[in-house]
């Protein structure tokens, strides 16, 4: 088993494909078969697997989650970090903090139309950190 940290660049709010970054960072560590576990170390961003081709999917995800989890709700008490902070925590709880991807023939075994996303929920987020664990 190998484990290391991947520091992502700062992303604007939205859903961003990071498959190429992940493959670049873990490629030399991948066994013939195994699992890659990715864990994002943040409470206001998520990681997920979804459509990797149509950009409209990423736009629609942003619109849908913003409609489901609205900002500036009168019942939010956690408001000192801005109007996008509590909704970011809720969205992160809904989507999650980790994904596991099978490794086959030394490569990530994602489906044809699948990619790894960082879901950035803050307007002014810092760079994000992912812990990658390769399991043989």
Query: Can you give the pLDDT at residue 51?
Result: 96
Query: Can you give the pLDDT at residue 43?
Result: 97
Query: What pLDDT band is residue 37 in, cutting at 50, 70 and 90?
Result: very high
Give me the sheet containing 98-104, strands edge to edge. 2-7, 129-135, 33-40, 98-104, 107-108
Query: Can you give the pLDDT at residue 136?
Result: 95
Query: What pLDDT band is residue 32 in, cutting at 50, 70 and 90?
Result: very high
pLDDT digits (tens, 9 = 90+) for 41-80: 999 999 999 999 999 999 999 999 999 999 999 999 999 9
Q: Give the gyration radius of the chain's Cα atoms.
A: 16
* Average of per-residue pLDDT values in the chain: 97
């Amino acid at each position: 088993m190998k484990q290391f940290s991947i520091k992502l660049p700062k992303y604007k709010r939205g859903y961003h494909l990071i498959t190429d970054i992940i493959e670049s960072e873990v490629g030399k560590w991948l066994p013939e078969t195994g699992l890659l576990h990715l864990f994002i170390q943040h409470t206001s961003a998520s990681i997920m697997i979804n459509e990797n081709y149509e950009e409209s999917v990423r736009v629609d995800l942003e619109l849908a989650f913003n409609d489901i989890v609205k900002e500036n709700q009168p019942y939010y008490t956690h408001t000192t970090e801005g109007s996008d902070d509590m909704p970011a925590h809720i969205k992160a709880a809904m989507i999650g903090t980790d994904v596991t991807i099978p490794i086959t023939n030394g490569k990530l075994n994602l489906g044809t139309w699948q990619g790894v996303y960082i879901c950035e929920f803050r307007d002014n987020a810092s760079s994000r950190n992912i812990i990658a664990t390769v399991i043989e």
